[in-house]
Structure 1
């Protein structure tokens, strides 16, 4: 079935508004034969006359009036759609899909989102909790636009992965424990532990930190939710190793935060697809880069 083009409908509406083929042609900046051709094609497609001429004035037929009313709505919707898309092209509006870990979402993204809301209120950021591996896979398949990932990561074809932040990993221990000023693998391995689960980069980092000193402790529980881990530490259930961002609020008074010896760092990167970056996505990347130093 042959489709009806918006140009033909626009011509019909112009004739209805102007009451004349000639005036409609001038209004649309078209040649008069082109206007006549548009109407002939529409009438052939519909199978009925759409216009009637009386005393030198052209007006829609009964069927034509129905089509003109529908055409006005279609043309308005088309203009609105183009206007909406143009605002996205200009970076005034848009949707950006972002994946990150719970820790990043809790302590880093709120700052970026606050800046984005002030500078670009028309941009909607949709956030999902993802591991680094999931984030990179979803960026590659096009279901995410921006990802915050642990580093290092292997190169992924079609993706750009750039270093973003470097935050210290600290020991979080119950405040009523008699803990040293600096926490060593030997001391911590003898304590009950609450650690990140094996799906996270932090789990691998902490395992390597212990192993370098010859220790392989088994945690009482492994989670992938840092705030829940801190709650358990506050309850005296065990100690943990977690990154601490400079802008994060101080821990619960029931928790003592101690530096590590040797030091351990959590490195994060920002990932997105290579090539053209939509303006709305670029605005999100820009506010994230403002947080790179903590």
Structure 2
């Protein structure tokens, strides 16, 4: 079945508005035979007469009037769709899909999103809580536009993965514990621990940090939500190893932070498709790069 062309509908509306084929031809910058051809094709497609000529004026028939009413809405919707797309092409509006871990979403994204809202209020950022592996997979298949991922990562064809931040991993310890000025693997391995679960890059980092000193502690509990871990530390349930971003609020007074010896760093990168970055996505990347540290 042949579809009805918007150009044909536009011609029908122009005739209804102007009352003649000649006026429609002038307004649409078409040759008169082309206007006649458009109407003939429409009437053949519909299977009914759409226009009638009375006293030298062209008017829609009842069927034509119904089609003109629908055509006006279709043409307005098409114009609005083109305007919306053009605004996105120009970077004035759009939707950007971003993947990140809970830690980045809780403490690193809010400041960037607030700045984006002030500069580009019509850009909507849709955030998904994902592991780094999931983020890279979705970037590769085109269902994400930007990702915040733990580093290092192997190269992925078609993606750009660049260093973004380097934040120190600290020992978060209940304030009522007697703790050293610097937390060592030996001291922490002897304490009850609350650690990130094994699906996270931070879990692998801390496991390697302990193993380098010959320790393999078993945590009391493993979670993948840093704020919940801090709440358990504040309650005295155990100590934790977590990254400390300089922009995060002051910890709960029931928690003290101790630097690690040897030091340990959590590195994050920004990932996106290497080619064809839309302007709205570039605006999101720009505000994220302003938070680059380390």
**Higher mean C-alpha displacement, 50-59 vs 238-247:** 50-59
Structure 1 partner of 2:232: 232
Question: Could you list the per-position Cα deviations for residues 41-92 of structure 1 after superposition, in whole angstroms to 9, with x for gaps in the alignment?
Answer: 1111111111111121111111111111111111111111111111111111
Structure 2 partner of 1:194: 194
Alignment of 1:41-60 (within 5 A): 41-60=41-60
Structure 2 partner of 1:148: 148
Structure 2 partner of 1:9: 9
Q: CA deviation at 1:168?
A: 0.5
Structure 2 partner of 1:281: 281
Classify the secondary structure of the residue corresponding to 2:177: coil
* Partner Cα distance (1:222, 1:194) in 2: 6
Off by >3 Å, runs of 4+ in structure 1: none
Classify the secondary structure of the residue corresponding to 1:71: helix
* Partner Cα distance (2:91, 2:57) in 1: 46
Segments of structure 2 that go 5 or more residues without pairing to the other structure are: none
Q: CA deviation at 1:293?
A: 2.1
1:119 aligns to 2:133 (yes or no): no
Question: Could you list the per-position Cα deviations for residues 169-195 of structure 1 after superposition, in whole angstroms to 9, with x for gaps in the alignment?
Answer: 000000011101111111111111000
* Partner Cα distance (2:138, 2:45) in 1: 45
Count of aligned pairs: 294
* Partner Cα distance (1:234, 1:107) in 2: 18
Question: Could you list the per-position Cα deviations for residues 184-219 of structure 1 after superposition, in whole angstroms to 9, with x for gaps in the alignment?
Answer: 111111111000111111111111111111111111
* Partner Cα distance (1:119, 1:140) in 2: 28
* Partner Cα distance (2:56, 2:30) in 1: 20
Q: TM-score, normalised by structure 1?
A: 0.98
Instruction: Supply the RMSD in Å over aligned alpha carbons.
Output: 0.9
Structure 1 partner of 2:264: 264
* Partner Cα distance (1:13, 1:208) in 2: 72
Classify the secondary structure of the residue corresponding to 1:36: helix
Q: CA deviation at 1:278?
A: 1.1
Classify the secondary structure of the residue corresponding to 1:53: strand
1:23 aligns to 2:18 (yes or no): no
Question: Could you list the per-position Cα deviations for residues 256-281 of structure 1 after superposition, in whole angstroms to 9, with x for gaps in the alignment?
Answer: 00111111100000011121011111
1:65 aligns to 2:65 (yes or no): yes
Alignment of 1:70-109 (within 5 A): 70-109=70-109
Q: CA deviation at 1:158?
A: 1.4
Segments of structure 1 that go 5 or more residues without pairing to the other structure are: none
Structure 2 partner of 1:215: 215
